[in-house]
């Protein structure tokens, strides 16, 4: 049935805000899973400009919206309008999911646990106590470095084209995370909640002489740079540095199998595609708002429909 024919005065509203928003695939992903679960909810995209964020939040609260996803450019600017935020969101400095509760608005960042849950879904163990290399130092890298450090990896080498960004991100997160470790309010499916970790985080450039060895000896290599979206660009690293035991995770999901993942498969590595993180960050928000675990395959299939 056409989703519009089932909307009544009882239907609960969730959605996403951003600017631009028309490209967002979240409505198709969430509405497919809401229908599949038989929930009387609808997920709506809202274009909200930067200067209207406070009015939008007030409006959502007054019309009893249940929850809102937050995308660019509001992931940081929305924080002052919230009542409380999660431990991970505080470390990352950005939120992507709001829940409108009786006692206020709660913000969290589901990218971090979504990244790790997608590994579980692929039956690939999180490399706790091992070394990881992360390519990129932007917003996605921040969430992933926090996720991996809270999960208890031994070291994270952040590699970025603009070296000072890698160095400052590494310094900032080292101080914040290792100071705050041992938090046991975290999701114990994916995190190391016994508080024994102390992750060494460093930032370097792609020309650094230590990079080949860092990649050669790491348990996992993660690409967070948007470079993977453009197949005409050369690979940022030499795939000959990879060992077949290394997990290679590319969070880029267009194309589904990036040049890096193709090269990694040729080397015999286990690979993880970016669509899983996209689905799982949405699934965690869905469960928060509805109290029901969504069908992740329904979400994934909905994203694959052009």
Candidates 298, 306, 299; CA nearest to 279 is 299
Minimal distance in Å, beta carbon 123 to ligand ATR? Answer: 26
Minimal distance in Å, beta carbon 72 to ligand ATR? Answer: 7
Minimal distance in Å, beta carbon 120 to ligand ATR? Answer: 22
Binding piece for ligand ATR, criterion CB under 6 A, among 14-22, 157-165, 210-218, 284-292 = 157-165
Candidates 85, 43, 47; CA nearest to 67 is 43
Q: Is 233 in the site for ligand ATR (CB under 6 A)?
A: yes
> Which residues are catalytically annotated?
75
Q: Are 244 and 260 in contact (CB under 8 A)?
A: no
Given the complex with ligand ATR, which of 140 and 199 has the nearer CB atom? 140
> Which member of 12, 36, 130, 161 binds ligand ATR (CB under 6 A)?
161
Q: Is 165 in the site for ligand ATR (CB under 6 A)?
A: yes
Minimal distance in Å, beta carbon 263 to ligand ATR? Answer: 16
What is the DSSP-derived secondary structure letter of residue 96? -
Please compute, for residue 11, the number of CA atoms within 13 A of its CA located in the half-sphere on the CB side. Answer: 18
Q: Is 258 in the site for ligand ATR (CB under 6 A)?
A: no
Binding piece for ligand ATR, criterion CB under 6 A, among 12-20, 112-120, 225-233, 256-264 = 225-233
Given the complex with ligand ATR, which of 189 and 229 has the nearer CB atom? 229
Given the complex with ligand ATR, which of 111 and 290 has the nearer CB atom? 111
Given the complex with ligand ATR, which of 105 and 173 has the nearer CB atom? 173
Q: Is 281 in the site for ligand ATR (CB under 6 A)?
A: no
Q: Are 295 and 33 in contact (CB under 8 A)?
A: yes
Backbone conformation region of residue 129, classed left if phi is above 0, alpha if psi is from -120 to 50, else beta: left
Q: Which ranges of the chain would DSSP assign to H, the alpha helix?
A: 26-37, 53-62, 87-92, 111-121, 139-151, 163-180, 211-217, 259-266, 275-290, 296-304
> Which member of 6, 11, 49, 162 binds ligand ATR (CB under 6 A)?
162
Minimal distance in Å, beta carbon 205 to ligand ATR? Answer: 9
Q: Which ranges of 181-295 would DSSP assign to H, the alpha helix?
A: 211-217, 259-266, 275-290
> Which member of 99, 160, 199, 258 binds ligand ATR (CB under 6 A)?
160
Given the complex with ligand ATR, which of 101 and 233 has the nearer CB atom? 233
Q: Are 41 and 66 in contact (CB under 8 A)?
A: yes
CA–CA distance, 204 with 220 (Å, rounded to integer): 17
Mask of contacts with ligand ATR, 120-149, x by CB under 6 A? ----------------xxxxxx--------
Locate 235 and state its tokens: 């690979």
Give residue number: closest CB to ligand ATR: 138
Q: Is 224 in the site for ligand ATR (CB under 6 A)?
A: yes
Given the complex with ligand ATR, which of 105 and 145 has the nearer CB atom? 145
- SS3 readout for 249-281: EECCCCCCCCHHHHHHHHCCCEEECCHHHHHHH
CA 184 to chain centre: 21
Contacting residues toward ligand ATR, per CB under 6 A: 136-141, 160-162, 165, 224-227, 233, 236
């Amino acid at each position: 049935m056409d989703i519009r024919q089932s909307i009544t005065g009882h239907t609960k509203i969730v959605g996403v805000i951003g600017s631009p928003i028309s490209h967002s695939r979240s409505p198709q992903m969430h509405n497919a899973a809401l229908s599949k679960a038989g929930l009387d909810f609808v997920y709506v995209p809202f274009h909200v400009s930067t200067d209207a964020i406070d009015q939008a939040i007030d409006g959502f609260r007054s019309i009893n919206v249940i929850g809102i996803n937050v995308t660019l450019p509001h992931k940081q600017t929305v924080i002052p309008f919230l009542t409380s935020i999660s431990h991970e969101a505080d470390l990352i400095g950005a939120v992507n999911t709001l829940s409108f509760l009786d006692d206020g608005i709660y913000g969290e960042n589901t990218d971090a646990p979504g990244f790790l849950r997608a590994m579980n879904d692929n039956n690939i163990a999180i490399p706790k106590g091992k070394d990881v290399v992360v390519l990129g130092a932007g917003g996605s890298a921040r969430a992933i470095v926090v996720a991996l450090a809270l999960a208890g990896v031994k070291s994270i080498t952040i590699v970025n084209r603009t070296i000072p960004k890698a160095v400052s991100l590494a310094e900032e997160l080292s101080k914040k995370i290792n100071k705050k470790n041992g938090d046991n309010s975290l999701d114990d499916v994916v995190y190391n909640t016994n508080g024994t970790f102390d992750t060494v985080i460093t930032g370097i450039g792609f020309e650094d002489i230590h990079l080949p060895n860092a990649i050669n000896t790491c348990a996992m290599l993660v690409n967070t740079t948007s470079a993977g979206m453009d197949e005409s660009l050369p690979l940022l690293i030499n795939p000959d540095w990879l060992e077949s035991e290394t997990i290679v995770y590319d969070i880029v999901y267009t194309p589904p199998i990036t040049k890096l993942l193709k090269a990694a498969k040729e080397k015999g590595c286990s690979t993880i595609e970016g669509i899983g993180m996209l689905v799982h960050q949405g699934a965690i928000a869905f469960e928060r708002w509805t109290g029901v675990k969504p069908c992740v395959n329904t979400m994934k299939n909905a994203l694959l429909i052009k």
